[in-house]
Amino acid sequence: MMLGEESGADLLAEMRARGHRMPAIVLSALSRVEDRAEGLDAGAQDYVVKPFQLGELIARLEVQLVRGAAAMPALALGGLRYDPADRTVSGAGRKLVLTEREGELLAYLIARPGQVLTRGEIFDALWAPHGGSTENVVDVYLGYLRRKLSDLSPYGLSLRTLRGRGFVLMLEESE
């Protein structure tokens, strides 16, 4: 498993050591059992030997997506609860479904309560890996999320813009 001069297994092990939990599938021309074991031991969820059929790769990707969603625990902050498995958010006795990107954004924010996040940090974490967008997409999705959260949690949570600094999801003190 080589990526230029660097070992793919080393890169994957380093990513896992830094806390990255994104599913990884190794695509490699190396077919020995030892090579496959090295990739899986480094943290890959699957190992596919070249040449492969596109249909097989797509099926393996779909399996990882389903496993990943099912394995993610529900997240809660204040009176709000987000379930990544079905992308539902509930609070104030109501429940609604978020789009995939809204759900990813909410999960990212809930995991960092009270932390000021720049537009660039959010973009790099959620949109940059997929390409084709600009940082303005962060503002658009924060707007979508604000509207939905205001319907569910009229008090308790606040998604604020700190001019010149970034954005923060915080718990409000109840009066």
Pull the structure tokens for residue 173: 């003190």
| 160 touches 170 (CB < 8 A) | yes
Say what the pTM is: 0.61
**Structural domain containing residue 97:** 75-171
Question: At 67, which CATH number?
Answer: 3.40.50.2300
Split into its structural domains, the chain has a count of 2
In a shared domain, residues 121 and 142: yes
> What stretches of the chain show up as alpha helix (H) in DSSP?
8-17, 33-41, 54-71, 100-110, 119-126, 136-152
Q: How do residues 14-26 score in pLDDT, each as one tens digit?
A: 887 877 777 888 8
- Written as tens digits, the pLDDT of the chain (175 aa) is 656 677 888 888 888 787 777 788 888 899 898 988 888 888 888 888 999 898 888 888 888 776 666 567 888 888 888 888 888 998 878 888 999 889 989 999 998 989 999 999 999 888 876 677 889 999 999 999 998 888 776 556 788 999 999 999 988 755 4
